[in-house]
Amino acid sequence: MNRAAARQRGHMGAIRMTTSLRVGIAGLGTVGASVIRLLERQAEALPARTGRRIVVTGVSARDRSRDRGVDLGGAKWFDDPVELARSSDIDLFVELVGGDEGPARLAVEAALSSGKSVVTANKALLAKHGLSLARLAEQKKVALAFEASVAGGIPIVKTLREGLAGNQISRVYGILNGTCNYILSRMEQEGLSFEECLKDAQRLGYAEADPTFDIGGFDTAHKLAILTSLAFGTAVDSEAIHVEGITSIRLEDLRSADELGYRIKLLGVAQRTPDGIEQRVHPTMVPKSSAIAQVMGVTNAVTIDADAVKELTLVGPGAGGDATASAVVADIADVARGIRSAPFGLPSDALEVAPRKAMQRHEGGYYIRLSVHDRPGAAAAIAMRMAERQISLESIMQKASAKQRAGLPSGAPVPVVLITYATTEATIREALDAAMGDGHIAAKPQVIRIERE
């Protein structure tokens, strides 16, 4: 036997003698079943990487009789996830139930209080209770790991918390919801309406029967709250996030964006400003030349602006059983190795309550689509309202041709698009309110922020 083989045999012998890590999994849906399959596929590789065998010894789900396509014969069944969390049969509790209250919160708190490490994919729970759960984990000297809670298979949590520890981060932003990115991509590429694309997303399983959480921007907001804490060392503050969804986006907006050299994406953006931490979720025009503009379909992407690495973009699958399971198993492996980091990068007592920057003070360029009554002086009056507030217009585009206007009744509304240079949200809103008061605008204006490189 050569030396390398002897070393490998000795290593494997040491693994066999090491105590196994006993895992309890609550929630056996798509992700939970995928975690079990992945652990089975990597049953030999994981001990070599972590020094411990990883064994699922307990499970909990609502329906005991359902066939999930995985072998649960070696695991004890618990009808109550809280009972599983407290059980002496497990060392590590994996929470895949979902929801910010109820069984998920009770079970995670029970596991941590019992001195067990926790792995979770639950962004809603962390966005609402992350700070208190981090404190409890630190008090009990156990791990609270949540790589799977943001951007699926993209290792963004470890990147921010560990990989970029030597950087000062100024901004983190990204496409954090695959459903919205799928809808906007289909609308742009195929010229379909929002309603048609949403129905397709529901048929394919990308959107729920009630899609409000996704298309309203709330899922993105929960994920952004976690990223903000990791990036800036602040207490999780989901209430500070300005949230807009994509339900108002129309084909004419996507076409105008294309003409101007942009794409529209639903972004979650967090950035440090002189006034505080700005957190916002809304449709955004991004330059086609940017890395994030190339991300189409259900894929996610996160861009980090930092002083040492400058700009770093991570792209990958943001959802799905295998992608999310990959992140869950990575956290399980860390626990098996004995790795325990402060959940949000700093001890919970060191996380600052950062001053909130009001959305009204956000500065940037704006795309504004107006439905303007086609009569003399209307466009000039709107431009005057902008000038009164020192808003500089980069361009004004009349989106109806002379032929189209000729076919409309006298004074009927026509589409007009304004592009502004950098100004504040409050100033834009004031000018539009004044123009609405003048009676020149026939419908609520469409306002989309522009993120220039």
Total length of the chain:
453
Burial of 282: CB neighbours in 10 Å, binned 0-12, 13-18, 19+: buried
Cβ 324 vs Cβ 153: under 8 Å: yes
Beta bridge partners of 254: none
Separation of alpha carbons 81 and 24, rounded Å:
9
Q: Which of 116, 123, 128, 223 is catalytic?
A: 223
395: alpha, beta or left? (left if phi > 0; alpha if psi -120 to 50):
beta
Q: What angle do CA 82, 85, 89 make, to 5 degrees?
A: 130
Cβ 59 vs Cβ 84: under 8 Å: yes
- Residue 199 a catalytic site member: no
Q: Which amino acid is at 99?
A: G
Residue 113 has phi, psi (to 5 degrees) of -65, -30
SS3 call for 275: coil
DSSP 316-350: EE-SSHHHHHHHHHHHHHHHHHT----TTSS-GGG
Q: Which runs of consecutive H residues, i.e. helices, occur in 209-250?
A: 212-215, 218-232
Cβ 350 vs Cβ 167: under 8 Å: no
Burial of 273: CB neighbours in 10 Å, binned 0-12, 13-18, 19+: middle
Residue 444's CB is within 10 A of a number of other CB atoms, namely: 11
Burial of 63: CB neighbours in 10 Å, binned 0-12, 13-18, 19+: exposed
428: alpha, beta or left? (left if phi > 0; alpha if psi -120 to 50):
alpha
Burial of 296: CB neighbours in 10 Å, binned 0-12, 13-18, 19+: middle
Separation of alpha carbons 350 and 74, rounded Å:
42
Q: What angle do CA 296, 359, 164 make, to 5 degrees?
A: 55
Residue 309's CB is within 10 A of a number of other CB atoms, namely: 13
Cβ 109 vs Cβ 136: under 8 Å: yes
- As annotated, the active-site residues are 223
